[in-house]
A = this chain, B = another copy of it.
Amino acid sequence: MTAPGPKALVPFVSVEHMMRIVHRVGLRPALRAIAGEIEADFRRWESFDKTPRIPAHHPLGVIELMPTADGETYGFKYVNGHPKNAAGGLQTVTAFGLLADMATGYPVLLSEMTILTALRTAAMSALAAKYLAPETATMAVIGNGAQCEFQCLAFAELCGITDVRLWDIDGRATEKAARNLAGTGLRVTSCGSAEEAIEGAGIVTTSTADKRNATILSDNMVGAGVHLNAVGGDCPGKTELAAGILHRASIFVEYPPQTRVEGEIQQLDPDHPVTELWQVIAGTAPGRRSATEVTLFDSVGFAIEDFAALRWARTAALETGLHAELDLLADPDDPRDLFGMVMRAAPADD
């Protein structure tokens, strides 16, 4: 058999490649670079095709496709959410994604996105806080699962956080996060309650995994001037904040048609005022307006963030050489002669 031609090969970033890219680039520089790509894309928000996710539901979870395109490049992410997976030793959320050249339809990158989604979610949170949070050195993190350490390092890199105060309903999760964060330069305090964790914190990140309407933060726990980074509430029936907080806060969202269904604001009237974060980043809407304002980034994750992260991954993979070439596309000498290509490929030893 002849080797496939270069047009047939698609750069592929495996999980192993992604981990090696993160080590080669450095985790904090990677988070800063991804935040930069997201920031650039949020500034040109109006140039993207936007659509809510396309879901396929099952009693145990959901599989979603998240496509977007900017007129030159097309991207989509495949992502699942299966809360009971962890009990069977599987990831609750796994993902992969693709970029393609819209002028030819040919894919130009296939990448794992379980790790990349963790990076972009943290980068997105810290980018939003750069525009919305008060001056502070301290962040509380309620919920110390898979997202926790990425959040801490993104806020260290982009917002100057030096102290993180951790709490989780499961003490082993907090121990895991504290152990992982040792040696990163952050001062880590493991707390015995959510109330203790938020003491002195100018930023409160919630990233719990319960698939239900929980109240991780009650109204009286949130003082004036705090920035809330609500990461965990991200599907219908899954919220983390008491409704009272939402009524006091200035709320910033990614894409309202999606956030009103999936975010904390699913608890509010469908016409409750919110600000689209891209407008703040583009300079057409105000971010934080006073030292006493409570700001809330009601994060659910949007396709444009994945698109930006995939662009970073492609550049990093090509620059470092840390990728494989996947024989994903047929490449006959004569495009009309697909049959001939298949027939001439008869292996001598088969």
Residues of A whose CB lies within 8 Å of any CB of B are 1, 4, 7-8, 12, 14-16, 19-20, 22-24, 27, 49, 51, 54, 56, 58, 60-63, 65, 67, 69, 71, 74, 76, 78, 80-82, 85-86, 88-92, 94, 96, 98, 100, 102-107, 112, 114-115, 118, 144-146, 148-150, 173, 176-177, 179-180, 326-332, 334-343, 345-347, 350
Contact = CB atoms under 8 A, between A and B. Distances in A.
A54 B67 contact: yes
A100 B81 CA distance: 13
A71 B58 contact: yes
Contact of A63 (B8, B91, B105, B114): B105
B100 A63 contact: yes
A3 to B, nearest CB: 9
A102 B58 contact: yes
Chain A interface, >50% SS class: mixed
Contacts of A86: 335-336
Contact of A331 (B91, B107, B179, B329): B91
A94 B179 CA distance: 47
Contacts of A106: 80, 90, 94
A149 B336 contact: no
A80 B100 contact: yes
A241 to B, nearest CB: 22
A115 B58 CA distance: 31
A338 B15 contact: no
B104 A60 contact: yes
A335 to B, nearest CB: 4
Nearest to A181: B339
28 contacts: A7-B90, A14-B327, A15-B327, A15-B331, A16-B327, A19-B342, A24-B350, A56-B67, A56-B102, A61-B103, A61-B104, A63-B74, A63-B105, A78-B100, A78-B107, A81-B105, A86-B336, A90-B335, A91-B330, A91-B338, A115-B338, A118-B338, A146-B336, A146-B337, A173-B336, A177-B339, A180-B339, A180-B343
